Chain A
Amino acid sequence: MAEKPSAAELKEFGDAADAWFKENTVRDPGFMLPLTFMEVSTDQQFDFLRDWQRKVYEAGFLGASWPREYGGGGMHSEYQRVATRAMKKYDAPIMINAIGNGWAGPLILDLGSEEQKQTYIKGMLNAEDIWCQGFSEPEHGSDLGNAQLKAVKEGDEYVLNGSKIWTSLGDRAKYMILLARTDFEAENKYKGLSFFLNPMKIDGISTSRIKKLTGEYGFVQTFFTDARISADCLFGGEGNGWSMAMKTLEYERGAKVKPVGGYFVKELDVMQIVELAKNSMRNGKPLLDDPVMRDKMTQYMIDIQALNLNNTRRRMPQLMQDKPMGLPLMNKLARTELIRELTEFSLGFQGTKAGYYVGDENAVDDGYWHRSYLNSFSATIGGGTSEIQRNIVAEHALGLPKTR
């Protein structure tokens, strides 16, 4: 692995990144930019973000610490950290290829064959090849282990039948990481599952767009009808699908494979809410003179500050001794629920204006708050619902029994 850079080397790289993002970041292309990879709706948005990721990659600020032989920068992970910081500083748009760079890429780099690494990594970094995730099914979402999409081996092919749903970027993707059932007689539901690197643009696979609660598009239902894929698409061996799927989750914490860098989801700048509150009126007086709003806003400030500091505390094992898995496991639950509550709260600041939506000139901040509130559910539902998160914290941090 690359050597740890000196402070001077890092600074030089950081300055270059800073200058690059300063010059190249477009924050207002004339249309609304998605805040997360799950919100990419129009062709215009898609083309812009894909192009943006390619530019960032080519400038050397994405995948900087992934191996050079597969298209990465081959540098120490500190460099990527510095580059990502510059991205954040200029509030740059998101990286679009989340499932590729965040999930499939680390898995392939960790466990894939030389050929797979050569085939897939570069194309996911430059966003030439968009990836999607085919885990959830119409009848099995939280109970993912029960997924039923059928993969039957015939010669050197698998034949796929069934359906996946809520597939973000499913209509744009070239590949899907797919969880399918290869053994219907396995001793338990998990052991019948296998994991595939599945091509999307083939006969027998079609997608149909689903309109989101915001009125935009972003995810699709994917249908598999006698779709034939090469047996080489199987990843990790038959019957190991569940453990592969669980592994992709581990990479999120960046333990085994260096993080690719960038971000796929923009964090809400909570301080903007304070500004909005300060600029809002109630009964002819500033909103924050209203004791109820004042008290609630203060409680939210306490929550925000706690979650921000939790991120630091998580890295201080001396302060985590009692239940070491507590902070890491509660983070998604606490953060996504807070964002949902906060954005909902912000609608209450707007008085009559809360009635407007994106697209009307009278809407506060072009409808940003309404859209943020509605979109906040993507995080309280997607990636494991808050209820499932509570089960996880209860069972894995607090030691409570499973619900049967």
Chain B
Amino acid sequence: MSKTLIRIGYASCGIAAGAKDVLAVVEKRMKKGSRRVELQKTGCIGICFDEPIVQIINEQGQWTYRKVDGKKMERIYDEHVLGGAPIYEWTVGELSTGGEVPDRPIFEHQQRIALRNTGIIDPESLDAYLEKQGYQALEKVLKEMDPDMVVKEIMDSGLRGRGGAGFPTGLKWSFCKKAAGDRKFIICNADEGDPGAFMDRNLLEGDPHSVLEGMMIAANTIGASEGYIYCRAEYPLAIRRLKIAIGQARERGFIGKNIMGTEFSFDITLKEGAGAFVCGEETALIASIEGERGMPRIRPPFPAEAGLWGKPTNNNNVETYANIPWIILNGAREFQKFGIKSSRGTKVFSLAGKINRGGLVEVPMGTPLRKIIFEIGGGIPKDRRFKAVQLGGPSGGCIPTQLLDTPVDYESITATGAIMGSGGMVVMDENTCMVEVARYFLGFTQNESCGKCTFCRIGTLRMLEVLERITKGQGKETDIDELKELAELIRASSLCGLGQGAPNPVLTTLRYFENEYHAHIVDKKCPAGVCKELTTFVIDEEVCRACGLCKKACPSEAIEGKPGVKHVIVQDRCIKCGSCREVCPFDAVGTG
């Protein structure tokens, strides 16, 4: 029998779902001696909703097991790995196939460039990266291309920054390359502050070397020999794997002096963020690396001219860098083949919220939202109604059902009032209140405003107050106009994207869901049943089957009933959390 590879998804999501227990089982079994079995820990293969994931790969094919736990792993090991008999009821693929397991549509519409190695290689092994053409792009750049050729290649590829603003990467590099100065810096923005987004975390946990390689290519191109990675502190595993990768690269001479025997020398420092969303903004990030409070400053001068310690600095996002080696090796034209209009290549999105298959996907630019959410993401749990998808986080907006056919490209998304952002997609269903979502985001930006600009600091607070009033049932008819006016003022009078974008969640929900605002203000009702003051939950006697799930889920013991006896909610104990509605399999809980 040939060798069998056991691959365990070992990114934060896998570990959080219980991959440690699975790993322990495999390690224990392997100790008993089996030279034909090989164990590999990888990053996230993207189907986070099914974690822990285990793949069994041998000459006969590849099987992906979902939701594995210690017990399941024991059987998989004994029956499949040793016995050769896959346990089909636990695999991701369809039951019918004899050997190769077909992947669900989740992979069908995907195109992996940035994520080319994530979930496939062991992120803690430099050799694994080298086997996948790792550092060959750097070698090509150092030995066969001059910096102008590199800039041209990246420009021709059409790659635009994946951190949110979508600025053409080649152009940015050319500015920094031209900037006068003998000392220049490279920064990798791994702050990923957008709540609900985890593309960069997965990339760093799954394939850190590709990001390092991208940074080095940029460094050589613009003439920098020092780089910084600014990673948020909430990502301890990403930080650990980055440290390992940097150490390995240093050991093997990919980082250091005279790399690959050339003139190029480069070193990387890892900086941990300290929990401030605004530090994702590049000038604030630079201030933070310098050890200051992370306050943005006016641009120009742009960092390309005067950045870190006043020196020319090129800052790109994690995913932007991860694309670079692929473009260098495969050529701008190959990259151009994916995407539409002025948005070329692919984009990684993290799917989360009210969606069946949350996880990480990479699709060609221009893929319609509907395809991502319904075909790849599998739609909304419990067949509930889709209401909106939130793109772009606190500076973004909510895109409603009627715009689901919008292709994901920079211009089309902007036209909806949202922004492409960094790739977080949070799906909302009929039980999400759009006014409350707007309030949530304003609460976030208000809290994260650095305080430098008055309109951002105080204007967001005023907006938040209005929204809180509305969600509490104390809204006034003039509130909507007041929100719109404040939105305009904040947008116009803020220095950085945090303030400029802060009104977007309110403006987009007003644009597409104004009726929900009216329901709160005029009818004093929250149609989605979220705002506590405006909601009463009731169990429909006709529909209830007395299964007891709601009673079990209720945190305040407000539900009475026994098996066989219809359940009722005791209103004065109800805290309006909606847990009963969430768990009811028959949709018997409604709002009165």
Q: Do A and B bind each other?
A: no
Instruction: Using CB atoms and an 8 Å cutoff, list the residues of chain A in contact with chain B.
Output: none
